[in-house]
Structure 1
């Protein structure tokens, strides 16, 4: 039966009555469902926030979990001239601490080949000069390497076309071709071939594969490579430097393991001393990367505090009726995480000479957060002083404090937190459970709406009968009044 407008026949406000009855039926259930949904949403949101903060902290813990991440070496370079920076350096974690005096005396370069003057068999002053009437090929290569590519030369190809073909070759390993017009008839146009392959002995070779006479002008040798034609005007060179007076060379601008586990890359020749002959040396010092470790420790403290504040906010109880409880007020799991982390952070590490994080300058404040304080509270120096001293004097002990396989703070924290943060961890499992409960709540809402629709129909059917009965009585009454009145 379709829903009809009530009260039309009787004149009674039956529509309003049905509405009030339905509202009285709906409200308690609706409020209960809304409250449940709000609770689920708050819990899901809170768990998401908690997971995000915990991930940030876990990343900080991971940065302190391995000795290789903590025992980084930092190269420090002091140059005699502020305007000249001869080299940059990097060192692996296994580099030995030490100090070196380095001077750069030569930068590696590639070879350069120029064609002869026009008067000596070169080209005239135009770039559209034809190379020759025959067809053949040229091979550009660096001997004793795999670097090689071919250029086909067709009959009638010009100097400019050859230059373009070289530069556009997809196999080109670093040869640049250019044309320089000398502006004189005797000089003519010169083809210049520059190779980016550095290192002594790595001169560019151009082979006239078909021994065409016209191509000898742009070749260094014939097909058998036993006859020389053009020769490099500049040969490929090594980089050269001195380390504590010892001469060293490299085929590139990078010296790798010349100093064990250290690499330095040269970019400028060192400045000359007042005598104009002697190269001034730069000081390279290899030491522990205290700045990087200092940052990792401070990030660890900051991210722990952010996580701890988040958990405290979520689990707090309001101190008055005006202050709401946290979304996870009194939650046993979250309190357990806080307590577990505090226990690990407060424990002694016997394998480290520092013993505890206190000797590293880290301590708990009254709010349960970590801090590296600037005040000396206990007569052992401020947190900042203790951290500085540990970085300068006990670098390896800091590593042991965090990375020991059994007692290390970062090792234990990482394993502890992984139980909660992994895909199958406790937090993720709980989050999925709450989402499932919310899905069931949606089904419950749907069933509730169906029941309310049925209840509405029953009420309308009931009061429709009343409306019709009253309407008939009113009609009968009107008829009687009319008959008696007549």
Structure 2
């Protein structure tokens, strides 16, 4: 077996020679890799630009329609008595409210029995929803629901059976530590959600089931305890809320009144002794927040574009897109738009509403001017929402929304630039692959050539040794 290593025959540092020659072959990679790094930076930058452009479009879209301007807020002069909730469909309103009665759910209570002891009641309790008028009961439209009670049932067991039967009644147990009372309450408030309970004992009942019936609305705890009345007593009758709103009498089965005016709900908590004023008005804080979001979104992309295209003369360092026509054009277009006019409002420039342009192209809110403009909200709204079907004179919400959308759509300028950068990166990668493949071929050829040279030099070296030995022999034989 022959062991060989390139360079042994020739004495040359073949590995180093080949390495240096291959390095020369790969020199174009340095420029390609530098360019690839720059392209990746530019692609990442355009990812940021696309995201910020979309955010600007969203902020402008909110101001381009009514949703960004019609947010309402409600206030009550006595929130402890009358609370107010305002929805998205609400309009400005002023309400004067007097509450004379709150809605209540009917409740009844039984006599007490020893805690944990089955009272011995057996039979059927029939629950019927309806309305009490004095001592008279009028059944409602829904059918009565019956619950069977066993003599071994404790008060808690009876309550559980009633709650499982979907009677429209909530059963509970009150305990003072010694005795337990069974209580019933309508699941919902209102005069029409009262109830009666008919007790039908079976033959094994010891007379106790009647204690859980309720057919006499005049019964009280006192008459029940004295034995002059049978069954449960009325703890609270079912009531509707009674109130006036701007002098108009109203009733409600619930203390939560929805859509008293469109989008406005009232929560009644107390009977009032003085009129309560509820005001529904434009939420200027929400409007200011929407405007601030618009300014912030614009300033973010303006700063990104400015940083990307700048040239620092002192450090002689250029931004990654310095001189790029697409990026410079995008920044110029945005800044020009912010300085343009809108037709349809007495406010024609953003600066008229306090959104003032700065030297670096950013916007800064002049709070005094904006607060003044917000006192005429319809006029300020028009500055953003008027649609003239003209990109130069439409409201700023409309024109910026449409511009941003056009930039990031499938064939928009930002999207196309992103695609072009990605294509350049792909081409660069292919060019690097070609250089590396060429270098590999050259390296293989050089190794082959130097291996052949090494063998030839080894042969010559052997021949030289032989000739030298023969000459030495000849020289000896002639002396």
TM-score (norm 2): 0.80
Check the 8 A contact 1:50/1:310 in 2, yes or no.
Answer: yes
1:162 maps to 2:158: yes
Q: Deviations over 1:422-463 (max 9, x none)?
A: 355332343234334433443444444333222211110000
Alignment of 1:49-64 (within 5 A): 49-64=48-63
| 419 and 192 in structure 1: CA distance in 2 versus 1, 3 angstrom threshold | same
Aligned to 1:386: 369
1:302 maps to 2:296: yes
1:292 maps to 2:286: yes
Deviation at 1:93, TM superposition (A): 6.7
Aligned to 2:257: 255
Q: Deviations over 1:307-362 (max 9, x none)?
A: 11111111223425x34322222232233333333343333323112232222112
Structure having the higher strand fraction is 2
Deviation at 1:410, TM superposition (A): 0.7
Aligned to 2:347: 354
Deviation at 1:47, TM superposition (A): 0.7
1:399 maps to 2:401: no
Q: 2: CA distance between counterparts of 1:431 and 1:149? A: 70
Which residue of the other structure, out of 440, 464, 473, is the alignment partner of 1:477? 464
1:335 maps to 2:328: yes
Q: Deviations over 1:137-158 (max 9, x none)?
A: 8557577577997756567444
Q: 2: CA distance between counterparts of 1:246 and 1:408? A: 42
Deviation at 1:24, TM superposition (A): 0.6
Q: Deviations over 1:21-80 (max 9, x none)?
A: 00010122x12331332132112101111112222222221221112421333223334x
Which residue of the other structure, out of 183, 187, 190, is the alignment partner of 2:181? 190
Q: Deviations over 1:102-125 (max 9, x none)?
A: 34454433221223x26xxxxx41
Which residue of the other structure, out of 59, 80, 97, is the alignment partner of 1:102? 97
Which residue of the other structure, out of 103, 107, 129, is the alignment partner of 2:118? 129
Check the 8 A contact 2:127/2:167 in 1, yes or no.
Answer: no
| 147 and 20 in structure 1: CA distance in 2 versus 1, 3 angstrom threshold | farther
Q: Deviations over 1:335-391 (max 9, x none)?
A: 33333333433333231122322221122122221122xxxxxxxxxx332211111
Q: 1: CA distance between counterparts of 2:448 and 2:405? A: 61
Highest Rg: 1 or 2?
A: 2
Q: 1: CA distance between counterparts of 2:140 and 2:100? A: 27
Deviation at 1:268, TM superposition (A): 4.3
Secondary structure of 2:235's aligned partner:
coil
Gaps of 5+ in 2: 131-138, 216-229, 389-393, 474-479
Aligned to 2:219: none
Deviation at 1:403, TM superposition (A): 0.7
Q: Which moved more, 1:411-420 or 1:361-370?
A: 361-370
Secondary structure of 1:330's aligned partner:
coil
Q: Which moved more, 1:411-420 or 1:336-345?
A: 336-345
Aligned to 1:25: 25
TM-score (norm 1): 0.79
Check the 8 A contact 2:343/2:395 in 1, yes or no.
Answer: no
Secondary structure of 2:193's aligned partner:
coil
Q: 2: CA distance between counterparts of 1:480 and 1:149? A: 127
1:89 maps to 2:78: no
Q: What value does the CA root-mean-square deviation take over the aligned residues?
A: 3.4
Deviation at 1:159, TM superposition (A): 3.0
Aligned to 1:78: 77
Deviation at 1:17, TM superposition (A): 0.2
Secondary structure of 1:32's aligned partner:
helix
Check the 8 A contact 1:138/1:153 in 2, yes or no.
Answer: no
Gaps of 5+ in 1: 119-123, 222-227, 271-278, 373-382
Aligned to 1:239: 241
Aligned to 2:36: 37
1:344 maps to 2:343: no
Secondary structure of 1:179's aligned partner:
strand
Secondary structure of 2:10's aligned partner:
coil
Check the 8 A contact 1:110/1:236 in 2, yes or no.
Answer: yes
Q: 2: CA distance between counterparts of 1:132 and 1:323? A: 98
Alignment of 1:443-462 (within 5 A): 443-462=430-449
Deviation at 1:179, TM superposition (A): 1.8
Deviation at 1:235, TM superposition (A): 2.0
Check the 8 A contact 2:125/2:197 in 1, yes or no.
Answer: no
Secondary structure of 1:85's aligned partner:
coil
Q: Deviations over 1:197-234 (max 9, x none)?
A: 112221245566x875755544547xxxxxx9656431
Secondary structure of 2:311's aligned partner:
coil
Check the 8 A contact 2:80/2:269 in 1, yes or no.
Answer: yes
Q: Which moved more, 1:306-315 or 1:89-98?
A: 89-98
Deviation at 1:5, TM superposition (A): 4.7
Aligned length: 440
